[in-house]
Amino acid sequence: MTELFSENNRSGLTRDLIQALFPMFEEASAGAIAVDRESRITWINSSYAHLLGLGNPETVIGKPIRQVIPQTRMPEVVETGKPLLLDIMEHNKQQLVVTRLPFYDDDGQIMGAVAFVLYDDLQPLTPLVAKYRRLHQDLAAARKALAKKTRGTRYNLADFVGASPAALEVKRRARLAAGRDMPILIRGETGTGKEVLAQAIHAMSGRAHQPFVGVNLAAVPENLLEAEFFGVAPGAYTGADKRTRQGKFQLANGGSLFLDEVGDMPLALQAKLLRALQEGEVEPLGSNSVTAVDVRVIAATSRNLEAMIAEGSFRSDLYYRLNVMEITIPPLRERLPDLGVLCEDILENNGQGPEVRREITDAGVAALGSYDWPGNVRELRNVLERALTMGEDGGQLDANAIFRVLPRGGSRPDPLLVLRPVKSLAKTLANAEAQAIEEALVASRGNRTRAARMLGISRSVFYEKLARMS
Ligand SMILES: Nc1ncnc2c1ncn2[C@@H]1O[C@H](COP(=O)(O)OP(=O)(O)OP(=O)(O)O)[C@@H](O)[C@H]1O
Ligand SMILES: [Mg+2]
């Protein structure tokens, strides 16, 4: 193998070094092979022959390498003269980590290539592979965050799950709202999907490629709200930033501004918000100039704004400004037929792979229907997640698994009553009547006149009923 690494401009010292290293490399690797410039095998060591399952290594000398190792990229190395320093090659269902290097004659002409199998299983590379996976996940998360930053939304209308007439009506109105550039007020109890819907409307609207900026009025301390909304001019107050701090209005410019929990807005800010919406301009804190802004406002609330207006804690003029189109999402208890599709969606996307996907039985869904869901879809998600972690692995979620994790008390009706098959009223009444007649006959020892009296009906009516029973 002495001629392997000679190259016209390589110093003797380097050549010696390489030649000294080669046997070590060959021995440490799980196999080595060399080809000529036509990619025919010129040499193979015994460990590689063994790895490839070749009885006699001699038989492959002179053969095109692809005939022996179909997946090899040696011909590529010979053609381009470029080494492939690290590659994973599959051979006979085995993953081989290989390195491939070209070698030259004294005139710098390519003579062939040599390859080493560094590892014949990926075990030693586990930390590397794990690190690669982690980096890959980070990259995916960063890409998602970036997409969210530029697009602004995570949800579209398909994420609002439901097929009941009530849910379909919500979707219909959302589509309608998306097509028109007007303020929208979304109403609904906690966990009914107000934020999902707000994002979906933005994503379907003409502003989809502009920012979607949300501000939760219940989550920001009152004294910071004004700065949060309208921004702060440089040096507006002692300790203020040297630069302009943009408010949510400026950030949402061109796109949609989502006012979550709008019922929690303090009265003073309500007046300023109304002005900003009417004028289409905002004045940052500590500034004496105004900036024009163009935003579409989508507001959401679980509060009774009309009652708040009546008691003076919400401005009616702002209410009319925000409530140009209203979409009310009914609570889950009013659209129980959606439980099935919601469960399916939640179980499908609960973060586990398809191999551990769990299902819920019809009785399991019926059991969910016995609860009144004050926390709506968010609570449903939590209940299902609890059921998944409590239940045995792999099994379906049945009624038992659900009852075990459903909160007790509240206005939940007796699950047994709900699960018992419901009969028509006529049938229930007829059964009760037959039972009363039977009991009266037993008590009167078959005396029909007395039985009729006990039941408080005439003998003729008693006979009529008796005839109908038989
Ligand atoms: N119709 C729906 N389809 C699928 N998921 C839903 C639906 N409604 C709500 N969810 C899920 O329930 C959770 C709560 O939704 P969201 O935050 O939109 O509710 P909300 O009405 O804004 O609640 P809150 O008033 O408490 O802020 C989220 O995990 C969301 O994905
Ligand atoms: Mg919300």
What is the rounded average pLDDT of the residues 211-238? 87
Query: Can you read off the two tokens belonging to residue 436?
Result: 């009363």
Query: Can you read off the two tokens belonging to residue 109?
Result: 């002409």
Neighbours of 334 (CB within 10 A): 12
- Residue 216 pairs in a beta bridge with 260
pLDDT of residue 5: 46
Contact in structure between 369 and 412 (CB atoms under 8 Å): no
Distance 120 CA to ligand 1 centre (A): 50
Cβ 381 under 6 angstroms from ligand 1: yes
216 CA closest ligand 1 atom index: 27
Tell whether the torsion through CA atoms of 61, 64, 65 and 68 is positive or negative: negative
Distance 362 CA to ligand 2 centre (A): 30
CA dihedral of 215, 219, 221, 222, whole degrees rounded to 10: 60
Contact in structure between 61 and 43 (CB atoms under 8 Å): yes
pLDDT tens-place string over residues 152-206: 677 888 889 999 999 999 999 999 999 999 999 999 999 999 999 999 999 999 9
Task: Identify which has the larger pLDDT, 12 or 114.
Answer: 114
Among the bound ligands, the one closest to the CA of 192: 1
- Give nearest CA residue, ligand 1 atom 7: 193
- Minimum mean pLDDT range among 200-214, 248-262, 369-383, 441-455: 441-455
Computed over every residue of the chain, the mean pLDDT equals: 86
Distance 416 CA to ligand 1 centre (A): 29
> What whole-number distance in Å separates Cα of residue 337 and Cα of residue 365?
10
> What whole-number distance in Å separates Cα of residue 60 and Cα of residue 204?
63
- Buried b or exposed e, range 224-248, using 16+ CB within 10 angstroms: ebbbbbbbbbeebeeebeeebbebb
Among residues 70, 77, 302, 339, the alpha carbon closest in space to that of 192 is found at 302
Task: Identify which has the larger pLDDT, 418 or 328.
Answer: 328
Over pLDDT 90: what percentage of the chain? 49
Tell whether the torsion through CA atoms of 257, 260, 266 and 267 is positive or negative: positive
pLDDT of residue 162: 93
Cβ-proximal residues to 343 (8 Å cutoff; 6+ apart), any chain: 360, 364, 365, 368, 380, 384
Specify the 3-state DSSP secondary structure of 460. helix
Specify the 3-state DSSP secondary structure of 462. helix
pLDDT tens-place string over residues 428-440: 888 888 888 888 8
Quick one: 78 exposed, middle or buried, by C-beta within 10 A (0-12, 13-18, 19+)?
A: buried
Residues in the chain: 470
**What secondary structure does DSSP assign to 407-435, as a single string?**
PPSTTPPPHHHHHSPPPPHHHHHHHHHHH
Of the ranges 141-155, 221-235, 251-265, the best mean pLDDT one: 251-265
Cβ 192 under 6 angstroms from ligand 1: yes
